[in-house]
C-alpha cells in the first residue's frame, strides 16, 4: 500500500473504524480528528499528520499496532497510543511523521 496521508482520513472524521484486539474482541475506534502536524522537514515527501480516535470501552487498550478496517479506506495498520480519558472510554492518537 502507498504511504498514508492526511487526505486518506480527513473525509472520514466522525466515522467508525472496526478493529480486533489482541484478545480477539471486536471494537470500534471513531476517528474524531485528522489534522496536519507541523511543517514538512526537508527531504520528506509526506507532510506529518496526526489522528485522534475515541473508543468507548471502559478497558484501556495498550499502545500498539491495531488493524483498523473502514469500508472506504480499507484495512490499515496504525500504531495507537492512549492519550486521554473521555467518558465513556479513552482517546488514542496516531502520529505519522
* Residues 2-45: tens digit of each pLDDT: 588 999 899 999 999 999 887 788 999 999 999 998 777 777 77
Q: What is the pTM of this model?
A: 0.90
Domain boundaries, the chain: 6-96
CA-closest candidate to residue 59, choices 25, 15, 30: 25
Which region holds residue 8: left if phi is over 0, alpha if psi is between -120 and 50, else beta? alpha
- Compute the average pLDDT of residues 44-67: 92
Rounded Cα distance, 48 and 22, in Å: 28
Amino acid at each position: 500500500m502507498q504511504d498514508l496521508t492526511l487526505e486518506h482520513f480527513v473525509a472520514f472524521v466522525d466515522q467508525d473504524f472496526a478493529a480486533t484486539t489482541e484478545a480477539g474482541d471486536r471494537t470500534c475506534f471513531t476517528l474524531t480528528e485528522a489534522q496536519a502536524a507541523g511543517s514538512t522537514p526537508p527531504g520528506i515527501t509526506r507532510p506529518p499528520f496526526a489522528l485522534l480516535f475515541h473508543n468507548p470501552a471502559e478497558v484501556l487498550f495498550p499502545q500498539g499496532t491495531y488493524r483498523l478496517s473502514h469500508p472506504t479506506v480499507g484495512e490499515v495498520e496504525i500504531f495507537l497510543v492512549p492519550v486521554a480519558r473521555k467518558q465513556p472510554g479513552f482517546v488514542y492518537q496516531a502520529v505519522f511523521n
